[in-house]
Amino acid sequence: MTPNVQTMPMAKALNAGLRKALGDDPKVLLMGEDIGPLGGVFRITEGLQAEFGPNRVMDTPLAESGIIGTAIGLAMGGYRPVCEIQFDGFIFPGFDQITSQLAKMTNRHEGQVAMPIVIRVPYGGHIGAVEHHQESPEAYFAHTPGLRVVSPSTPHDAYWMIQEAIASDDPVMFFEPKSRYWPKGEVNLDSHDAPLHSSAVVREGTEITLVGHGAMMSVLLASAELAAEEGTSVEVIDLRSLSPIDYAPIVASVQKTGRLVVAAEAPGSFSVSSEIAATVTERAFYSLEAPVLRVSAFDAPFPPAKLETTYLPDADRVLEAVDRAMAY
């Protein structure tokens, strides 16, 4: 049988994944600001309230703490809420509910209370927006025990990962790279063989490994193409999951290539990139031919939009790190 493969942007893939989850399970609910008739700021929920009704796709007040707190109560009542945070920087009014309550509720009740809640967070730069609209706060949540943290980089992964996240009995922070909402890609609607918390080798190489997630993947793949033109064979790995991290493909790759560059849009200090660098150094020290290098945004607040291309890592900065690693 020929698989059902369609070409669509990530925004449409997420919409299709949410529609599938709503149709499969009457306990799945969507909650968020302007997600009803408007379909959300990025139109991810477009048409879903008309199809499933206002009791399943609910517009909420502008109150992130209230959204998360209500979702916790619904989860305790047997529902599976999916909360949309309008922009990454708006999540902090709900931070206390997420880290003090949601992340700890199951442990507090010795496993007797499940928290099947997904919090969708559009994040990252490259959209020319103002302060609090382009940040990458994923490390706050990856640092918090009790939360699962994932980020798709392709429409195919977005379609399947949102459904897997909704099916999880643990809370999942679902970070969506907003700059990748509209580039199109193929989505196999019939099958997906990558578990939610797995890393994936998306380009094979032999001399150096590049690791990243979300919107950074397009930069790393472009960097690998440019490096190949200069004669350097680059392997590229998509993290997909930030907590837990699937280290097996990363360590195996570093044992083969001997070099690792980790890249992310978030500031580099105390970051997911820092954790990967430390863990790979522990697990593959004797395979390393060079120090693990990090390429990141600067340790400063996100600047005005006209400076975002200076602030965010690009292919030039990744290739500079590749050259430094290859020089050892």
Active site (catalytic) residues: 133
Residues in the chain: 328
Residue 100 has a CB neighbour count (10 Å cut-off) of: 11
The token duo for 267 is 């500031």
Closest CA to 158 of 4, 39, 18: 18
Contact 306, 187 (CB under 8 A): no
* Strands across the sheet containing 293-297: 200-203, 234-238, 208-212, 260-267, 293-297
Look-up of token digits 């977005």 = 158
Report which secondary-structure segment, H or E, holds 209. strand 208-212
In this structure, what token pair is assigned to residue 314? Answer: 């690009």
Q: Could you tell me the end-to-end alpha-carbon distance of the chain, in angstroms, rounded to an integer?
A: 51
In whole angstroms, what separates CA 142 from the centre of its chain?
A: 11
HSE at residue 69, side-chain half, CA atoms within 13 A, is: 9
Q: Are 85 and 119 in contact (CB under 8 A)?
A: yes
Strand order in the sheet with 118-123: 57-59, 28-32, 80-84, 118-123, 172-177, 148-150, 241-243
